[in-house]
Structures are given as structure tokens and as C-alpha cells.
Structure 1
Amino acid sequence: MKTEKQYLFDNPKNIKRVLHGLYICCALLVVLDFVINRKVYHSWENLWAFYPIYGFVGCVVLVFVARWMRVLLMRDEDYYDPPESTEVSESSEGDKHVRD
């Protein structure tokens, strides 16, 4: 009888453990934000939750820039297909050759 190899995240309990660990880390960082005296360079860095908001806005800007770049850089679906004018023939060996 052949059994498949079990990976770490195949077990739902392990996924829940990782998520709980991340939640605990996030809660610890929020608590430490009130305890640790940070050295700030600008006054707006003293605002509560400045860095999470800054990160969220940065991600949203990246998504919009990526959408704009997709419109600018996107190619047609058949961009890499050979042009219609070429003929493809098969030799006796089964290899395909392109004729111009």
C-alpha cells in the first residue's frame, strides 16, 4: 500500500497554528507600539497606526500602477504565435520545418 507524503500545511491544524502565531505577533507589535519610545523624524509618524495605513496606501498605489502598466505593456494573446503567412510542413522524420 502506497501512501502519499504528508506536507506541513496539508493538515488544517497546522494552518490554524500558523495563523494563531501571526495573530499573536500582530497583537504583540501593537502593544509594543505603546511601550517602546520610537525615534521619529516627522511629526506624522507619531500618529496611531501610521505605518499600517502607510503600508496599505502603498499597496493600493502599487496595484493601480500595475493595472496602468498592464494596459501599457500588455501584448495580444497570439503575440508569440507564428504569422499566418508561414507554412508548416512535416518531413519524413517527423520534425516540423517552417517555410517563408
Structure 2
Amino acid sequence: MSDEQNKPDFFDKPENIDKILKVFYLICTLLVVADFIVHRHIYHDWENIPAFYAIYGFIGCVLLVLIAKAMRKVLMRGDDYYDK
């Protein structure tokens, strides 16, 4: 066995995961701050709410997860489906 196979990958180190999360949170914060600085051409009044797109995206992702969990109950087959 070579030393290359035993070498931990980038995502195996917890400190690298912490760095990635910090960068992710920084980018999210900068995007919300940019929402207050950048002028937007709005079409609807509700788009004028501060951080509207961040809230809209978060709610959309939560709804997708909840809908997928409900669909799983309907579409999921039994564990022995292929053994029959």
C-alpha cells in the first residue's frame, strides 16, 4: 500500500470543513448586505422588503424538503420490492 492511499482527503479534516463554513457564512452575509446597497428594479411591492430574496430562497428550500419528505411516503417502495 502506498502512502498516497492513506493520506486523508481535503474534506476529511475538520479544520477544512470549518474554513469552508466560515467562507460560506461570509458570502451569505455579504449577499444580504449587498441587498441594501445595490439598486434593484422591482416589479412587485413585496420585492422591496429588506433581504426579500434571501428569505424567499430559504423558504423555497424548506418547502422543497418538506414536499420531498411527503412524496417519499407516497412513492417509496418496500425493502423487499426487488426480492419478490
Q: TM-score, normalised by structure 1?
A: 0.66
CA 1:19–1:74: 2 relative to 1, 3 Å = closer
Q: Does 1:27 align with 2:32?
A: no
Give runs of ≥4 in structure 1 deviating > 3 Å: none
Aligned positions of 1:15-94 closer than 5 A: 15-82=17-84
Q: Cα distance 1:63–1:20, how it changes in 2: closer, same or farther (>3 A)?
A: closer
The separation in 2 between residues aligned to 1:74 and 1:9, in whole angstroms, is: 31
Gaps of 5+ in 1: 83-100
> Which of the two has greater helix per residue?
2
Unaligned 5+ segments in structure 2 are none
Q: Give the counterpart letter for 2:74 in structure 1.
A: L
Larger Rg: 1
Q: Percent identity?
A: 54
Q: Measure, in 2, the Cα distance between the counterparts of 1:60 and 1:18.
A: 22
In structure 2, C-alpha distance between the alignment counterparts of 1:39 and 1:75, rounded to whole Å: 47
Higher strand share: 1
Aligned length: 82
